[in-house]
Amino acid sequence: MKRIKIQINKTEREYDVYALLTSFFPGTEAVTGEEADNIDGVFEVSENGGTVNLRLDFDGIKETEEFVVSSEKDEAKKEFGIRLYDFLSKATGKELPWGNLTGIRPTKLIRTMIEEEGGEDVLNTVRERAYAERRLRGEKLELGIDIALRETEIMSRIHHTDGYSVYVGIPFCPSTCLYCSFTSNPVFKYKDKIKDYLLALKKELEWTASNMSDKYLDTIYIGGGTPTTLGAEQLDELLSYITTILPFEHVKEFTIEAGRADSITAEKLDVIRKYPINRISVNPQTMSNETLKLIGRNHTVEQFVEAFKLVREKGFENINTDIIIGLPGETIEDVKHTMDELVKLTPDSLTVHSLAIKRASRLKRWMDENELEITMDYDEAMRICAEGAKAMGLNPYYLYRQKQMAGNLENTGYSLPGKEGLYNILIMEEIQSIVAIGAGSVSKCVHDNGLIERCDNVKDIDLYLEKTDEMINRKTLLFTGGA
């Protein structure tokens, strides 16, 4: 892997420089400071009194440019982002699918533009503005506009700052997948502490019921980890408490992830069916047994198909499936095979993830040790997925991006009309507060003035059990100002 050194004298520019540089040079490691040994080139950004100098000497490219940005901070940031993008685009002869966007919520940006512009020709105005401000145009912009319009209609049915949602984190899995960056722990290691963990969740749920009573509860999402690693009795205990302690008069969606086929049993599904859960996720990630084994998922494609059919037989009418594009060793043919097999099962919604390779992840270390690079044609892979979703009658309804995302692309959710994942939209569009409970979860308070504040629970399970009261105090400060 080639390494490029970033030299920059204004720290607030570092994120945009890193994100765009690694997008224009995929597979390249950008380093700074003490990490910058054995480098193959340099990218220098020098800013003094509004004058910016760029110098690129890497991969056979030698380019320089000087320009001036506004003295006003926000305007200077916009101008810098556009000029940086144009410089790298000219130097490499490339355009990025999402222009100079480095944030994770492009549809929120597009939706805001639509709301701000208004008028009969609003969409054309937004197209012009998106290119002028973000160098965003073409297929991705149209996808963003399509989703933004669909989200606007869906969000009109949901409470905004007068509502809230609840996330319950179950940080256990049968095994930890190679690519995973979530709070996940092998369940066998903590089986003797699950009872205490459920007690801690109950304390947080009790606080939630008491302190959020002036707002409407719209959605509940039980995620992880893999919630169905809990035993049937443990699931029953948790779901019984949730439905007893929380107000359900206005709940529109209650989701549980049953993501791993090796965690799903008929007994657990019978327990789940006792409660008002109306959305469930069963996730293959890929329909290749070879890849499943490589990434550490201890189940086969055949077991996933059996689990999916069992979930359907038990009467679940809104089943989501997740897949990941860009898993190690996979080709376009693997993506096509995965979609062909999913079309046979007809899930009610589908989330297509572009693999995000985090710098400190097990996956990154494993790929470096095995000298592997991902060379998939991501544009073609996403096109195949979009066509497969369309063949199942699924429309794109939400979208987000991550750092170090393969191909500089996106994660896209597709669903049948009326089967959209409301919680997914709420977490991305940030119109409503999220009370998150459990180890490693992050709560978000959306104030009436648009200000957004967050607080997190510790990731370590033992520490979470020890400091549950402290986690509750953090929420008290976040949501009630310490009252």
Q: How far is CA 139 from the centre of its chain?
A: 21
Report the candidate in 74, 83, 71, 76 with the shortest Cα–Cα distance to residue 134. Answer: 83
Q: Which tokens go with 59?
A: 């991969």
Place of tokens 């500089």: 408
- Whether 286 and 315 share a structural domain: yes
- Whether 135 and 224 share a structural domain: no
> Do the domain assignments include residue 65?
yes
Domain that holds residue 129: 106-155
- Whether 126 and 174 share a structural domain: no
Among 40, 69, 92, give the residue marking a domain's end: 92
- Whether 139 and 239 share a structural domain: no
- Whether 123 and 198 share a structural domain: no
pLDDT at 441: 96
Three-class SS state of 185: strand
> Do the domain assignments include residue 481?
no
> Do the domain assignments include residue 146?
yes
> Do the domain assignments include residue 97?
no
CATH code at 259? 3.80.30.20
Q: What share of the chain is helix, strand, coil (3-state, %, to 5)?
A: 45, 20, 35
**Counted domains in the chain:** 3
User: Which residues does 365 contact at the CB level (< 8 Å), separation at least 6?
Assistant: none
- Whether 60 and 82 share a structural domain: yes
- Whether 13 and 130 share a structural domain: no
Three-class SS state of 180: coil
pLDDT at 185: 67
CATH code at 26? 3.30.160
- List the chain pLDDT tens, one digit each, 483 residues: 788 999 999 988 998 898 899 889 987 888 887 666 789 999 999 999 899 999 999 999 999 999 999 999 999 999 999 999 999 999 999 999 899 988 788 999 999 999 999 878 999 999 999 999 999 999 999 999 999 999 999 999 999 999 999 999 999 987 665 555 555 566 768 889 999 999 999 999 999 999 999 999 999 999 988 999 999 999 999 999 999 999 999 999 999 999 889 899 999 999 999 999 999 999 999 999 998 888 777 889 999 999 999 999 999 999 999 999 988 888 999 999 999 999 999 999 999 988 766 555 566 666 666 666 666 788 899 999 999 999 999 999 999 887 655 556 789 999 999 999 999 999 999 999 999 999 999 999 999 998 999 999 999 999 999 999 999 999 999 998 743
Neighbours of 321 (CB within 10 A): 21
Contact 99, 134 (CB under 8 A): yes
pLDDT at 483: 39
pLDDT at 445: 97
- Whether 167 and 123 share a structural domain: no
- Whether 270 and 176 share a structural domain: yes
- Whether 66 and 171 share a structural domain: no
Neighbours of 50 (CB within 10 A): 12
> Do the domain assignments include residue 100?
no
> Do the domain assignments include residue 398?
yes
pLDDT at 2: 86
* DSSP assignment string, 378-446: HHHHHHHHHHHHHHTT-EEEEEE--TTBGGG--EEEEE-TT---HHHHHHHH--SEEEEESTT-EEEEE
> Do the domain assignments include residue 282?
yes
Q: What is the largest CA-CA distance in the chain?
A: 67
pTM of the model: 0.89
Measured between alpha carbons, how far is 137 from 123 in angstroms, rounded to an integer? 12
- Whether 198 and 258 share a structural domain: yes
